[in-house]
Structure 1
Amino acid sequence: MPTRSQGSSLGVLNSRVDNIVRTWIANLHVDRGIGRMVLLLVIAFGVFAALNPRVFLNPLNLQNIMVSAPEVGLLAIAMTLAMLTGGIDLSLVSIANLTAITISTMYAGLAASDPALAESLGGMIVVVGVAVGVGAGLINAVLISTVGIAPILATLATMQIFNGLAIVWTGGRTLYGAPEILGGVGQSTVAGIPVLFLIFVVVAIAIGVLIGRTPFGRKTQLQGSNPAAARYSGIRSASVLYGTYVTTGLLGGLAGVLFVTRNPTASADYGTSYVLLVIVIAVLGGTNPMGGFATVTGVVLATLVLQVVQSGFNAIRLSSYEYSIAQGVILIGVMVFDQVRFRRRGRYVPSTQTRNIASLSGVGNDTKKRFDEVKST
Structure 2
Amino acid sequence: MLVLFVLAFGLFAILNPRVFLNPINLQNMMVASPEVGILAIAMALAMLTGGIDLSLVAIANLSAITVSTMFTAIASSDPATAESLGGFIALIGVLVGALAGAVNGFLIATVGITPILATLATMQIFNGIAIVWTGGKTLYGAPAVLSSVGQATVGGIPILFLEFLVVAVLIGVLISRTPFGRRTQLQGANPTAAMYSGIRSTSVLYGTYVTTGLLGGIAGLVFLSRNPTASADYGTSYVLLVIVIAVLGGTNPTGGFATITGVVLATLVLQVVQSGFTAIRLSAYEYAIAQGVILIAVMVFDQVRVRRRPRRAPSSQTETIALAEIPRA
Q: TM-score range with shorter-chain normalisation? A: over 0.9
Larger radius of gyration: 1
Q: Whole-Å Cα distance in 2 between the matches of residues 334 and 283 of structure 1?
A: 9
2:192 to 228, 236, 257: 228
Question: 1:316-356: CA deviations, max 9, x gaps?
Answer: 111111101000000000001101110121569xxxxxxxx
Q: CA RMSD in A?
A: 1.2
Within the candidate set 62, 65, 80, 1:98 is matched to 62
State the SS of the aligned residue for 2:76: helix
1:260-309 Cα offsets, whole Å, 9 max, x none, are: 01110000000000000000000000000000001000000000000000
Partner residue in 1 for 2:9: 45
Alpha-carbon distance in structure 2 between the residues aligned to 1:164 and 1:313: 34
Query: Following superposition of structure 1 onto structure 2, how do residues 334-345 of structure 1 map, counting pairs within 5 Å?
Result: 334-345=298-309
Q: Which amino acid aligns with 1:232?
A: Y
> What is the CA–CA distance in structure 1 between the aligned matches of 2:134 and 2:292, rounded to whole Å?
34
TM-superposition CA deviations, 1:119-154 (whole Å, max 9, x none): 011011101111110000000000000000000000
Say how many residue pairs are matched.
314
Q: Percent identity?
A: 78
Residue of structure 1 equivalent to 2:101: 137
1:83 — aligned with what? 47
Among residues 200, 217, 221, which one is paired with 1:257 in the alignment? 221
Aligned to 1:126: 90
Structure 2 counterpart SS, 1:113 = coil
Runs of 4+ in 1 over 2 A off after TM superposition: none
Cα distance in 2, alignment partners of residues 211 and 284 from structure 1:
18
Paired with 1:343 and 1:236, the residues of 2 have a C-alpha distance of: 35
SS in 1 for 2:104: helix
**Kindly tell me: are residues 347 and 69 of structure 1, through their superposed partners in 2, closer, same or farther at Cα, counting changes over 3 Å?**
farther
Deviations 1:200-231 (A, max 9, x none): 00010000000000000001000000111101
Q: What's 2:283 paired with?
A: 319
Return 5+ residue gaps in structure 1 as ranges. 1-36, 349-367, 373-377
CA distance in 1, matches of 2:18, 2:70: 43
Q: Which residue of 2 aligns with 1:186?
A: 150
Give the Cα–Cα distance (whole angstroms) in 2 for the partners of residues 346 and 78 of structure 1.
34
- Which of 151, 154, 169 is residue 118 of structure 2 equivalent to? 154
The answer for unaligned runs of 5 or more in structure 2 is 313-321
Q: Does 1:298 align with 2:259?
A: no
CA deviation after TM superposition for structure 1 residue 112, in Å:
1.0
Counterpart in the other structure of 1:65: 29
Relative to 1, partners in 2 of residues 1:203 and 1:164: Cα closer, same or farther, differing over 3 Å?
same
1:310 aligns with 274
1:297 aligned partner, one-letter code: T
Instruction: Give the Å deviation of 1:113.
Output: 1.0
